[in-house]
């Protein structure tokens, strides 16, 4: 009888219920309980953390961010920061993800996040540091080349972009770099390859055709480009 009563009490402890639900993979149920617990004890970090984890486990990454941030403010640990970094990345909040990733010494991911956040001055030292390790990695070379094209100019970017030609975005960047350097004939095949996926490239392609003596192709590309630039 006593044992039954204790079991009843135990079963009624919401934190235990939530933990059991988490363990059993019933994340929606756990979420509901943790939401109630957060309301009851808004300054208790574990409830926020577990609510965040319940949402994260349901792949609701964007929603998970607020409770995880709250938990971190209330004293969350490094493991929680790892989950938060993943959620920032999933939510494409690159500028928030990058410093966490850097702190976790995930330098390749941090470089990517800073590059995505367009904070090139922060990304650059990481790419420099990783350059030897990723010398043959097309993604790395594309990102680093793209970064250099933006902050140092086309000349500096070329060696990296040329090594990343397997990637379509790299061909777009390479085509633009050649245009910037007035290497019209070199630009054309890359821009032709990349333009179907990025019609803005029809303009530099038109210029490259024109400068390469292909006036009719230049006109055609320009007309197509203008068609796509009508007011939204």
Partner 1 sequence: MLALLLLAAEWTVHPLPFTHSSGETARKRLPATMGGGLAVWDFDGDGKLDLFFTNGAGRAPALLRNLGGMKFERLAKSFAGDTDTFGAAVSSEGLALCGLRSLVVYRHDGKRIELDNKKRWSVGAAWFDFDSDGDLDLFVVNYVRYDPATEPECKVDGKPDFCHPRYYDAQPNALFRNDNGTFADVSEESGIAAHLGKGMGVAVADFDGDARLDLFVTNDRMPAFLFHNEGGKFTEIAFEAGVAVPFDGKPVSGMGADTQDFDNDGKPDLVYTALRDETFPLYRNTGAGFEEVTAKTRFGPLARQMAGWGIAFADLDNDGWRDIAVARSDALSNRPEPLSWFRNLEGTGFERRTLPAVPAMYRGLVAADLDGDGCEDLVVSALNAQALVLRNPCANPKGGARRQFLGSTTLGYGSSLWLR
Interatomic CA distance for residues 18 and 14, integer angstroms:
6
Taking the complex as a whole, the smallest distance from the CB of residue 77 to partner 1 amounts, in Å, to 24
Site for partner 1 contains 152 (CB under 8 A): yes
148/154 Cα distance (integer angstroms): 7
Segment 18 to 47, residues that bind partner 1, using CB under 8 A: none
82 burial (CB, 10 Å; 0-12 / 13-18 / 19+) is: middle
Region of 27-35, 42-50, 97-105, 146-154 interacting with partner 1 (CB under 8 A): 146-154
Q: Does 100 bind partner 1 (CB under 8 A)?
A: no
| Of positions 33, 126, 154, 158, contacts partner 1 by CB under 8 A | 154
Q: Are 58 and 32 in contact (CB under 8 A)?
A: no
Between CA 202 and CA 42 the distance in angstroms is: 55
Q: Does residue 157 belong to the site contacting partner 1 (CB under 8 A)?
A: no
232 binds partner 1 (CB under 8 A): yes
The residue from 20, 36, 66, 168 that contacts partner 1 (CB under 8 A) is 66
Instruction: Pick from 20, 36, 74, 91 the residue near partner 1 by CB under 8 A.
Output: 91
Contact 50, 16 (CB under 8 A): no
| CB-based contact 107:95 (threshold 8 Å) | no
Out of 57, 119, 137, 212, the only residue in the binding site for partner 1 (CB under 8 A) is 119
Q: Any contact of residue 202 with partner 1 (CB under 8 A)?
A: yes
Cα–Cα distances in Å, from 161 out to 100, 164, 166, 182? 28, 5, 10, 17
Give the binding site for partner 1 (CB under 8 A): 62, 65-66, 91, 93, 96, 118-121, 150-154, 176, 179-180, 200-204, 207, 222, 225-226, 229, 231-232
């Amino acid at each position: 009888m006593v044992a039954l009563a204790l079991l009843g009490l135990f079963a009624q402890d919401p934190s235990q219920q939530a933990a059991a639900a988490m363990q059993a993979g019933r994340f929606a149920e756990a979420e509901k309980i943790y939401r109630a617990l957060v309301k009851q004890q808004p300054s208790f970090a574990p409830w926020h953390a577990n609510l965040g984890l319940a949402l994260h486990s349901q792949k609701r990454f964007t929603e998970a961010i607020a409770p995880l941030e709250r938990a971190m403010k209330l004293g969350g640990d490094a493991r929680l920061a790892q989950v938060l970094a993943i959620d920032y990345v999933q939510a494409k909040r690159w500028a928030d993800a990058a410093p966490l990733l850097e702190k976790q010494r995930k330098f390749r991911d941090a470089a990517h996040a800073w590059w995505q956040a367009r904070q090139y001055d922060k990304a650059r030292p990481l790419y420099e540091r990783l350059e030897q390790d990723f010398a043959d990695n097309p993604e790395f070379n594309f990102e680093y080349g793209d970064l250099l094209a933006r902050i140092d100019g086309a000349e500096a970017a070329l060696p990296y972009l040329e090594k990343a030609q397997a990637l379509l975005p790299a061909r777009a960047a390479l085509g633009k770099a050649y245009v910037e350097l007035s290497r019209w004939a070199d630009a054309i095949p890359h821009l032709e390859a990349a333009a179907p996926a990025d019609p803005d490239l029809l303009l530099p392609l038109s210029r490259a055709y024109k400068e390469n003596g292909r006036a009719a192709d230049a006109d055609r590309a320009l007309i197509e480009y203008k068609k796509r630039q009508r007011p939204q």
